[in-house]
Structure 1
């Protein structure tokens, strides 16, 4: 079985999300990677070194400079004549491309898989992760998105894949890239951070959030997250949100400060290795998933904790 993995990249370097997808794909069979971009030779070289990859297909064309889904999907569909499954990370980009590929191939997409049970059977979360469904596909071609936190990352070195150029399908002409405003953070990116400190609505306002959460995050060298309630209240930007409608994370340590533990938030962080919860409500749902729970006033506990670190 030949699998085609979509490479997440910025035309200069490969993103970590791709490595977990390679691990998932390797459980299905021979792994090929598609690098679609403009001036993306360095990315192709990097992809060829990933352990377990046999071939890297490179489509270097200005049409793929921004990896618009409307342009990438026809390219993937054209390559699926010689591949049995297409796998993409369950990122914003992957979730934009995969459904279009599925539509072009006239097959059902299998979303956000957690494990590969066999060549046609997978598990995926439903009901905000409170139940795990086992799904079996009878489609000849599989289109799959992979939850990166559910699979170990493939080794970045040790491979020696063949690099092969593939013909571009060109610009579909149905969309145009206008601009991008990319937030720059000094702290680790949420999806790759080993430690995350998240704050909730109990932090009252943006100033209090910053004064309470940031010193703790700085001491721990952690990424900063937030519940949807904190984001909706304007304490922090949308890209801080952890949860079902935000980012799915699984760090080594997740510190939840003033977060009650709504089901939508738990869906985004309950796979963390160690969960530490600080909340004054001893009946808060967050304590049901926490490995370490501290009942107390966060405005007293957190500064004390920072002082002892």
Structure 2
């Protein structure tokens, strides 16, 4: 359904490929971090990284597509300016309230309170689609990709970003991640106020110092790409706080190798799969067969 007034809706979804706790947590996250404090320059820089491999030039005039798991609408607010119609889809009605506010000036945005296995768009109707940082938070990621691809016209591109298994990192880096994942599992099950507080402590005590150390080392001429949290060295503390909650506050997280992502995309009916060779890993795009 198209949301005419999301403030009157509740999170009333009951579909198999959805974790209610995850949906509620992300709805709470976007209420706290509505991205209003994120500068246009920083948002644009991050956006360009995600969409570096997206074939904008191949979209038809007045292209119609979807953002699956739009959250606060931070990426949709930039995509909507480039296309004819953008369907913003999220299972958390509270997130859609924020998204509607962030896209208030975009008359071509449509809002849908739905999960990935109940996308309210006709099969074979969309000129493009994307889902960034979402489908690793559903029970069946492969089925989620297939649900998205089903909505595309033949030849239409689909862009996805999924957490990776650090398959391009050294063993010591993966060991650090396993330790951090243990922390995530403990933090994610805390009551929401405690979870929020713990994640903000992590942002201040871990993200910020490691990111600033990487920034300083880079200034001194060192190679820092493989240092933990070096990706945040040019980001604001607001981004770090948001992502710390996103990362450590979520109880359902799946990770995939590049080969696994390619296999899921191909099985879903995508061809010509291309991966971005830059951060964030892994972003991939394919076209509907």
TM-score bin (small chain): 0.3 to 0.5
Computing the radius of gyration from Cα coordinates, the structure with the larger value is 1
TM-score by length of 1: 0.31
Structure with more contact order per residue of length (Cα contacts < 8 Å, sep ≥ 6): 2
- Structure with higher strand content: 1
- Structure with higher helix content: 2
